[in-house]
Amino acid sequence: MKKIIALTLAAVMTLAPVCAMADSFEREIASYPWARESAEYCFNNGILSGDEFGNFDLGGNLTRAQMARIFTDAFGLERAADTQFDDFKASDWYADYSLALQNYMPKKDADFKGGEYVTREEFAATLVAVSGGKPSRDTSVTVFNFGDAAEVDDAYKNWVETAVLDRYLLGDGGNVLPKNLLTRAEACAFLYRALEPSADKTLITGKPEVTLEQAVSWAKSKNAADIYLEVAPIYWYYGEQFGIRPDVMFAQAAKETGYGKYTGTVKPEMNNWAGIKIQNPTPEKLIENFESFATPDDGVRGHFNHMSAYVGVPPIGEVHGRYNVVKSLDWAGTVRYVEELGGRWCPEINYGADLVKWIEEMKQF
């Protein structure tokens, strides 16, 4: 079980009065509006503590010793019997924390260097390890989305890929900034996303938040093709059968087909509403690389079947070849949120976030 921990400025500290600390926090967070929710979460749950003057130093950096304490307490890491490091004594305040963290560090040498500041890549990679994640098989999503992906240390590359896929690490301005020293505000954001994975996320399964009528009105406002409007009731029918939200799927169909206009490689007569490829496509962007379904109904069912492999619900009827490809992946059946489709359904990391924006638009109709 994850524990609430204190992200401290020093090993030992005197707490300021609560009200004074709250006032100090409000002053500081004004400079970090992007981190307000995660920093508030850390402050309210005792994860973030100030110094004796009530300062939180959100822009300050985090040492490796402090990181070891955070991860040890937050994830209940157990102390190893023997140390792999030569540069601290058993009496040092962080000794036990370093012994607990050492087997989770993707990269280490003979010295722990507890006073050294931690980089974004190290913190993200170690966070994946301590939270039970695994390094990804490749780094294609990081390379596709971030211009500085090549700068990530080889020891961290596959771990950072998982951090990107799990949306612990979101990047900044199209870059992952791997060598930048991690700030305390960033540490709060990373930890919040790991400790509260459902926060600000949109479930794929469950009841729709948009009615069929709202969805159709929204589609008409986008000058959608008639064939797209005609399959809308089929989406709501299969949404009930699968337990997968039809508003999510309908938004995805809009994105994949250009509101049913099929302006890309896939053609309308293929009834492929989600850009689903065949089991073994070639690298070329050819029409033969995409699935064809006999009827619009079969195409919508195929779309839901494909998503069922992502979220872990049973398919309905005969499945297509690409379904089996997804089922063979490490993360098959584990995708819970629309935002997590980015990097998995397609390499674009903000793919799912775009769908969420469209779903929010539908709610206005």
| pLDDT, tens digit, 9 for 90 and up, residues 62-92 | 999 999 988 998 888 998 878 888 888 888 9
- Domains: count for the chain: 2
One domain for residues 179 and 248: no
Between CA 269 and CA 247 the distance in angstroms is: 23
Q: Which of 62-71, 191-200, 211-220 is predicted most confidently?
A: 211-220
Percent pLDDT > 90 in the chain is 71
Structural domain contains residue 205 = no
pLDDT top residue among 302 and 330: 302
Q: What share of the chain is helix, strand, coil (3-state, %, to 5)?
A: 45, 5, 50
Query: DSSP labels for 316-358?
Result: -SSPPHHHHHHHTSTTTT---BGGGGBTTTBS-TTHHHHHHHH
pLDDT for res 268: 96
> Do 131 and 89 belong to one domain?
yes
pLDDT digits (tens, 9 = 90+) for 130-163: 999 999 999 999 999 999 999 999 999 999 999 9
Instruction: Determine which of 53-57, 98-102, 163-167, 211-215 has the lowest per-residue pLDDT on average.
Output: 53-57
Task: Say yes or no: 121 and 229 in one domain.
Answer: no
- Quote the pLDDT of residue 234: 98
Residue 145 belongs to domain spanning: 18-195
Residues 6 or more apart from 269 whose CB is under 8 A from it?
292
Distance of CA 312 to the CA centre of its chain: 18
Q: Using the predicted structure, report yes or no on whether residue 5 has a pLDDT greater than 60.
A: no
159 part of a folded domain: yes
Confidence of residue 310 (pLDDT cuts 50, 70, 90): very high
Looking at the fold, whether 176 and 218 belong to one and the same domain comes out as: no
- Is residue 241 located within the same domain as residue 296? yes
Whether 311 maps to a domain, the answer reads yes
In a domain, 12, yes or no: no
pLDDT surpassing 90 at residue 318: yes
What CATH number is attached to the domain comprising 349? 1.10.530.10
Claim: this prediction has a pTM higher than 0.95: no
Q: How many CA atoms lie within 13 A of 155 on its CB side?
A: 11
Residue 8 placed within a domain: no
- 203 found inside a domain: no
pLDDT(11) > 70: no
3-state secondary structure of 183: strand
Q: Which two tokens stand for residue 75?
A: 């994830």
Distance CA 88, CA 335 (A): 42
pLDDT of residue 22: 60
Q: Mean pLDDT over residues 41-46, rounded? A: 78
- The reply to whether 282 and 343 lie within a common domain is yes
Same-domain pairing of 53 and 136: yes
Mean pLDDT of the chain: 89
